[in-house]
Amino acid sequence: MTVNSKQTNKLILCVMFSMMLVNCQNTPSNNSNNPIDSTAGASSRMKTDSQAEAAPLDTITSLADQKDTVAYFRAPDGKVYKVELADENGNLVKPQSYVEKTTDSLYCITDLFLGTERKNAKSTFLIKTIKFYNTVNALKVTLAADSIMRNLNPAITTAINSPRVIQEKRNVNIKTAFIYAISRENDNDFHLIIGDTLPYNAAKSLNVELAGIPNPANTSKDTLTKVRTKVEAYFGEKCSGAYSVFTPPIKISVSGSLFYDIGHPPGLVGTGIYKPSSSWEIHPMSDIVFK
């Protein structure tokens, strides 16, 4: 069969068109119907949106570095938590506008305990075996009711040498709990508001106190110094009575001696909704493990 030049040209054009069509089909497209590219595009947009959202906020590795009401705290293990500063009523505050009400010039300059209420009991870890509990609530259901603790005879007082009563003479460990908020009080103790549940439940929560270093030194000084160093290595320095509130809460295991806070009525200590329903505490803390 004889093929004229017109037919030849037509054949060449067809071949070229076919090659172009195949090439187009195998080339990645920006069309959102392409599942691979659609996913990549979404991932890229999510990253951009996330970066844009976080841009106005600090990412800090020490609570002392927070400059605004809200920041993101990166823990030593790389986990990141949203942290908001709040007063006792749960109102958000700026670091520079919240000054701890203390006249002691050593506040946050030293780690020494600066208080006087039940000083000896607060800064002494019992020499006893540790009783283990799986949760905060598992411990709380074993504790005497507030109505009993506030009406003992002889009564617990706030005197420096007010001793532990029999109900307080127990060392405990809670295997799993969550830190919702932390503050540094004007006596240099830290309040850690811990609980079991998500969301928070005041009935299943507890105040745990990281004690200031005993002064003069006692038999518990080394233990209390070690755990205080551990907490400060995790959170960095914190020099404000404002509570740092964490989202999500920080998972821990914690140990210490039981203590009844006769100086504060139930439901007073804490911030906003994060206020345990009882005045029972672990005080002082003797160890903590961040999970």
**Predicted pLDDT of residue 197:** 82
Q: Which amino acid would we find at residue 162?
A: S
Among residues 168, 161, 154, 166, the alpha carbon closest in space to that of 125 is found at: 168
- Do 38 and 75 belong to one domain? no
**Predicted pLDDT of residue 252:** 98
Domain count, the chain: 2
- Do 37 and 167 belong to one domain? no
Q: Which amino acid would we find at residue 64?
A: A
Return the DSSP state at 166.
G
The first and second tokens of residue 124, run together, are 């002494």
- Do 33 and 138 belong to one domain? no
- Do 178 and 282 belong to one domain? yes
- Do 68 and 19 belong to one domain? no
Residue with tokens 């009564």: 155
pTM (2 decimals)? 0.79
- Do 31 and 90 belong to one domain? no
- Do 45 and 77 belong to one domain? no
Among residues 117, 102, 62, the alpha carbon closest in space to that of 283 is found at: 117
- Do 19 and 98 belong to one domain? no
In angstroms, the CA 218 to CA 211 distance is 13
**Predicted pLDDT of residue 102:** 59
Dump pLDDT digits (tens) for 208-219.
999 999 999 999
Mean pLDDT of the chain: 83
- Residue-range definition of the domain harbouring residue 74: 58-290
Phi, psi (5° rounding) for residue 159? -60, 150
Dump pLDDT digits (tens) for 98-132.
655 555 677 888 999 999 999 999 999 999 999 99
- Do 196 and 221 belong to one domain? yes
- Do 94 and 21 belong to one domain? no
The first and second tokens of residue 141, run together, are 């259901």
Question: Mapping DSSP to helix (H, G, I), strand (E, B) and coil, where does residue 15 land?
Answer: helix
- Per-residue pLDDT tens listing for the chain (291 residues): 444 444 444 444 444 444 444 444 444 433 333 333 333 332 332 233 333 344 346 699 999 999 899 999 999 999 999 999 999 999 999 887 665 555 567 788 899 999 999 999 999 999 999 999 999 999 999 999 999 999 999 999 999 999 999 999 999 999 999 999 999 998 999 999 999 988 899 999 999 999 999 999 999 999 999 999 999 999 998 887 899 999 999 999 999 999 999 999 999 999 999 999 999 999 999 999 999
- Do 46 and 111 belong to one domain? no
- Do 76 and 180 belong to one domain? yes
